[in-house]
Amino acid sequence: MERIVLGSGCFWGAQEILRKIPGVIKTEVGYAGGTLENATYNEVKTGRTGHAESVELTYDPQKVSLGQILDVFFRMHDPTTEDRQGNDVGSQYRSVIFYFSEDQKKAVLEKIKEIEQKGFWKKPIVTEVVPFSNYYRAEEFHQDYLIKHPNGYSCHYLRDF
């Protein structure tokens, strides 16, 4: 099994889409990349902790490639907007990929180059690509939110490329 952590705005809708990818074994929402220890929603929502609302994926690379996961990631949000997705504004909603290995970093950078070359997005991709750091599991209320609240808020949807 492998892991990757993806930030693409509010983590509720992102988790709902990512969990449905065949080969994804587990998803969990949390706060990644910031400086505050044991970050909580009330702290992260201020935008001052440096954390991004994120989804940690555990996946089986024999069933789904990182490239396939990234295809979904880059279709489910607008990676050309800095610190914003839908109604959500602030650095905690930035587009970011937290990688665990140099191989993952290389795959991510290649995917970004591929997508930009194909012209799927009219503006440059601003997704941050950074080493995994400082992740804290979000409160239980946020886990599987759209399963618990099927009509809950989401700014995520799959775009056709």
Amino acid letter for position 73: F
Query: Is 10 annotated in the active site?
Result: yes
Contact by Cβ (8 Å): 79, 94: no
- Taking CA atoms, 77 is separated from 1, 31, 85, 132, in Å, by 25, 18, 7, 20
- What angle separates helix 102-118 from helix 66-76, to the nearest 10 degrees? 50
Q: Is 123 exposed, middle or buried (0-12, 13-18, 19+ CB in 10 A)?
A: exposed
Q: CA-CA distance, 43 to 138, in Å (whole number)?
A: 11
Q: In the chain, which ranges are continuous DSSP H helix?
A: 11-18, 41-44, 66-76, 102-118, 145-148
- Residue 13 DSSP SS3: helix
The active-site residue out of 4, 5, 10, 108 is: 10
Give the pair of three-digit tokens for residue 126.
């601003």
Q: Which residues are catalytic?
A: 10
